[in-house]
Homo-oligomer: A and B are copies of this chain.
Amino acid sequence: MSPTPSPAPLRLGIAGLGTVGIGVVKIVQNHPDLIALRSGRPVQITAICARDRTRNRDADLSGYAWVDRASDLALRDDVDVVVELIGGDEGPARELIELALENGKDVVTANKALLAVHGQALAERAESRGRTIRFEAAVAGGIPVIKAMTESLAGNRIKRVMGVMNGTCNYILTRMQSAGLPYDTVFEEARRLGYLEADPTLDVGGIDASHKLAILASIAFGTRVAFEGVEIEGIERVSIDDISRAADMGYRIKLLGVAQMTGRGLEQRMSPCLVPCDSPLGQLEGGTNMVVIEGDAVGQIVLRGAGAGEGPTASAVMSDVVELARGVRMPVFGQPATTLGTPQPARTAVPAAYYLRLTLADKPGALAKVATVLGDAGISIDRMRQYGHASGAAPVLIVTHKTTPEAIDHAMQALPRTGVVEGDPVELRIEEV
């Protein structure tokens, strides 16, 4: 073969040199030949930006131009792609991305919060300029779920997408179960281990996972990201009691996100749910993430891997970088942003079985009163367990047959009025997986 001229390298400007940013630097430095072969051209880092220039970062950064303001990366002629790893849904991250698109650069980001809030505007801005924003790293770390949804399942009408997408919550829930420890203790443990965001409600309140769910729902159903439409409940009220009782009945409790399009609109919920302990989701331990996608042709696809961390997240960033190096430039959400529909948010109405736990006073006819309330609400019982009356009041577990969330709400309001239920009854949805 006659020698062909070397193709021009793809030049990256990286903003943010935390765990993920350094992970990207290491991959680019460690695998230049591999990446060039796979990309069809070399990939180089030309400029970088981070808050603290003097910090020791376990990587040789001497070959790169330092800029003081992230947005300066968007102005440089030696940057083709801006890699935004600053985070946050406003401020320098948003400013940088907007400016980069203005200046004809493509963007790779891991910023789920920004995409959940401003994804539509940014996508329209990018596409009107013939640019794109790629964000494989924003959802479920190293798991290639964005590519699977936008490309691999392009021939499918997606029926449902769900997943465990916050490793910290899954760590807390599995640790509570394995060690038999209460929530508060494990929460403090996770904080000491550095697993929690600076604002821990982003994790345990389900917000981070809901950002990811809203992004997946947008791609799945061809609708604008509608984070505000997610019904969110965190894991703060999950008790060790419920974890143990659910295990007795063959279930695990997971912070599960589910999005599905129904005749009433787009249901998006993030909540602690029961899943069968022998299902792929039920078997998920610790910080691992899992996404389950159901398409009308493919059936059920399960993707599992590390949801965070230097290597996995940087791997996802590099997947996007290599695509851009290959010259592939897709619509941000898999179809032109201007064609994305406006979803009608719907409260969860899809029926499910439910797990109920309540404490019954030791009075004659108590159980009959509970059964009557459930029957009046149209709820039938699949399994019931009443435990001993050691303290004069008995824990009762009920697994219902499939029923509607409305019926459950109705029963949950009626139960305290029976006079035989002590404290607040607990209800958890059992998601079919």
- Residue ranges of A at the interface with B (Cβ–Cβ < 8 Å): 1, 23, 27, 31, 34-35, 37-40, 136, 142-144, 147-148, 150-157, 222, 278, 280, 283, 295-306, 309, 311-312, 314-319, 321-323, 326, 328, 330-331, 334-336, 338-339
CB distance from A221 to the nearest CB of B (A): 11
Q: Can you list 8 pairs linking A and B with CB atoms under 8 Å apart?
A: A34-B222, A38-B335, A143-B301, A147-B152, A278-B283, A297-B312, A302-B304, A304-B304
Beyond A298-B305, A299-B306, 14 additional contacts (C-beta under 8 Å) are A27-B297, A39-B154, A40-B336, A142-B297, A153-B319, A155-B319, A156-B315, A278-B283, A298-B312, A298-B316, A299-B311, A304-B304, A326-B330, A328-B328
| A306 contacts B311, C-beta separation under 8 Å | no
Taken together, the copies of this chain in the complex come to: 2
Contacts of A312 in B (CB 8 A): 297-299
Which B residues touch A315, using CB under 8 A? Answer: 152-153, 155-156, 295, 297-298
Q: A317–B306 Cα gap in the complex (Å)?
A: 28
Give the complex CA separation of A326 and B37 in angstroms: 22
- For residue A222, which residues in chain B have a CB less than 8 angstroms away from its CB? 34, 37
A155 touches B35 (CB 8 A): yes
In the bound complex, CA of A306 to CA of B278 (Å): 18
Closest to A222 in B: B37
In the complex, which residue of chain B has the Cβ closest to the Cβ of A326? B330
Assess the B305–A304 pair: CB atoms within 8 A. no
